[in-house]
């Protein structure tokens, strides 16, 4: 699961819309705990990057100087780079074959925002899964104040027999 404050998610969406029809990109910092499918990542900050890709309408490339600067700055705070984000202009909010070819860090979350006609329609989260084969796995993306829905005991009007 990826947790992100609504304000940080809004930054990602705004960057995606502003960059349209090109791809936006940037890094996410925060903390992670757990491992495998039980791993939970909490995003605490969003860092936009210029898109350095030669074809920014079809690809993205984050400025490596930003990554190095962040690693130095975050070292003493307990946070680290936990993910990246980018947009897919007139595409889907899921990794493309190009994304898969360029993915190599198994511990990073990928947020992808689909933008159609200049408006963001969906942001989804993914992680690289190398257990069986190299592929992306969709993971829940929730705002930081999200809580699991409360459950209630079965009631007679639910059609459940108590005998």
Catalytic residues: 23
Beta bridge partners of 124: 112
**Token digits of residue 95:** 């990794």
CA terminus-to-terminus distance, the chain: 39
* Three-state secondary-structure class, residue 85: strand
Helix (H) or strand (E) segment spanning residue 119: strand 119-129
Structure tokens at 14: 């705004």
The closest alpha carbon to 34, from 104, 83, 107, belongs to: 107
- From the list 10, 11, 21, 12, the residue with the least C-alpha distance to 118 is 21
CA angle 96, 88, 112 (to 5 degrees): 80
Gap between the Cα atoms of 108 and 84, Å rounded: 7
């Amino acid at each position: 699961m990826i947790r992100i404050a609504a304000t940080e998610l809004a930054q990602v969406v705004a960057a995606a819309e502003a960059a349209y029809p090109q791809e936006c990109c940037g890094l996410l910092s925060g903390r992670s705990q757990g491992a495998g499918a039980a791993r939970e990542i909490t995003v605490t900050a969003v860092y936009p990057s210029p898109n350095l890709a030669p074809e920014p309408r079809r690809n993205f490339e984050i400025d490596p100087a930003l990554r190095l600067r962040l690693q130095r700055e975050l070292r003493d705070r307990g946070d680290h780079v936990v993910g990246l984000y980018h947009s897919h202009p007139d595409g889907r909010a899921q990794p493309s074959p190009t994304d898969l070819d360029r993915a190599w860090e198994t511990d990073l979350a990928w947020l992808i925002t689909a933008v159609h006609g200049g408006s963001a329609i969906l942001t989804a989260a993914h992680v690289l899964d190398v257990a069986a084969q190299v592929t992306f796995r969709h993971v829940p993306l929730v705002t930081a104040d999200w809580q699991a829905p409360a459950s209630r005991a079965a009631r007679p009007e639910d059609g459940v027999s108590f005998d």
